[in-house]
Amino acid sequence: MKKASVFPARPLWQKLLLFTLLIALLIYFFRFSILRAMGDYLDVGVEPQKVEALYVLGGSPHDRGLAAIEIFKDSLSEMFVCTGGNIHGTLVAYGVDMKESELSARFLQNQGLPSNTICTLSSSTSTFEESIEILGDCKSKGYRKIAVISSAYHTRRVRWIFERKFEGSGIEVFVFSAPPTNYDPDEWWKSENGMLFFFNEIVKIAYYHLQY
């Protein structure tokens, strides 16, 4: 006769409940590491290196401009091209009609970049359109090695777009990250700005993959 087990088998629902609780506990204890890794996933910018031209993408002219200044100081580029055809909403409220590209160019010049190293491309109103405009500019000027600079959490989407658009062009494209100045990327979830940047970018990545 088979001897009855001292520990009777648990019903399946109990096993699933215990497993779920274990996973929840692990997520809770490692939540900060998980959140930090989620932010790191979005930042795929590479270490800056020498390029023929640096394209400062439209949006966030302060952060991206500061990062471009460092590129200039390190003598990694002799030409800085500011892009973006959108008109900055905050300036509109003050009656200033200035496109993102013009705003970025003004910031770079105010920070000490010589005016003859700065130019603008002002037709594009999205990252996808910027990739098309920049590709055309590279072809017309004969560039073979360029970089684009964007906010750190935008770089994964930017890389995906530019890799697709520049494929087969013979032009090397590097993506540089502009560190944020209004939140700590190691603790992005503790800041409203960090939360907005992170979740807006997740939505944009999903949209771009579905649209393009």
Q: Cα–Cα distance between 92 and 190 in angstroms, integer?
A: 30
Q: Which CATH number characterizes residue 67's domain?
A: 3.40.50.620
**Residue 212 CB: number of other CB atoms within 10 A?**
11
Q: How many domains does the chain have?
A: 1
Q: Does a structural domain hold residue 82?
A: yes
Longest alpha-carbon distance in the chain: 95
d(CA 109, CA 201): 29
Residue 14 is assigned to a structural domain of this protein = no
Residue 8: the pLDDT is 64
Residue 6 lies in a domain: no
pLDDT in tens, 14-57: 778 777 888 877 777 788 999 999 999 999 999 999 999 999 99
Q: Is 174 part of a structural domain of the chain?
A: yes
Give me the sheet containing 118-121, strands edge to edge.
Answer: 118-121, 80-83, 53-56, 145-151, 172-178
Domain carrying residue 122:
50-180+189-211
Has residue 15 been placed in a domain?
no
State pTM to two decimals. 0.87
Q: Which residues are within 8 A (CB) of 116 and not within 5 positions of it... i.e. 6 or more apart?
A: none
**Model confidence pLDDT, tens digit, residues 59-105:** 889 999 999 999 999 999 999 999 999 887 667 777 777 899 999 99
